């Protein structure tokens, strides 16, 4: 049975969101600073992904290693309250509160229309391309500096 167009778009948006979160944090755990391979990365939704107002909001993501995602005393899937306290200290002031406000708009769980999903997909694709280009330029600059001295 074929997936609906909506489900395909949502899956594509999930993948794009996750890949952008990886790039945003340069494959590094936000909590411990450990560098990871893509397979080791856990892109975490600060406000649960069931809330469509912030599901693909890039500010609603955090990149964590498995330990800090699932096992640490302040891991979001171990003790979410401790994780949120950590987040409030380590993110810019008002970040979590902004997400909470946005998540509560229009009841919080309203699904976007197909056209809105398509527009969001296009925006996320553009962001991903820009981030990949910046990462490539940064790597080239680092290589040039490292080997020219």
Please name the helix (run of DSSP H) or strand (run of DSSP E) that holds residue 120, with its range, or none: helix 114-148
Q: What is the pLDDT of residue 6?
A: 93
pLDDT > 50? residue 8: yes
145 vs 135, more confident: 135
Mean pLDDT of the 53-67 span: 96
State which H helix or E strand residue 42 sits in: strand 42-45
Q: What is the rounded average pLDDT of the residues 117-141?
A: 92
pLDDT-derived band at 108, boundaries 50, 70, 90? low
- Calculate mean pLDDT across residues 110-127: 93
What is the DSSP secondary-structure string of 6-26?
Answer: HHHHHHHHHHHHHHHHHHHTT
Q: What is the pLDDT of residue 82?
A: 94
Say how far apart CA 21 and CA 44 lie, in whole Å.
Answer: 9
């Amino acid at each position: 049975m074929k997936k609906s167009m909506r489900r395909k778009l949502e899956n594509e948006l999930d993948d794009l969101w996750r890949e952008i979160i990886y790039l945003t944090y340069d494959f590094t755990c936000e909590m411990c600073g450990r560098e990871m391979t893509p397979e080791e990365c856990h892109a975490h939704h600060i406000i649960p992904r069931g809330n469509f107002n912030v599901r693909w909001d890039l500010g609603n993501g955090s990149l964590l290693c498995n330990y800090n995602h699932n096992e640490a005393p302040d891991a979001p899937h171990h003790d979410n309250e401790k994780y949120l306290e950590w987040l409030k200290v380590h993110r810019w002031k008002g970040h979590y509160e902004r997400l909470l406000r946005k998540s509560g708009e229009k009841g919080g769980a309203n699904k976007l229309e197909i056209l809105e999903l398509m527009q969001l997909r296009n925006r996320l694709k553009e962001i991903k391309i820009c981030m990949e280009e910046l990462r490539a330029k940064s790597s080239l600059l680092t290589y040039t500096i490292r080997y020219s001295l």
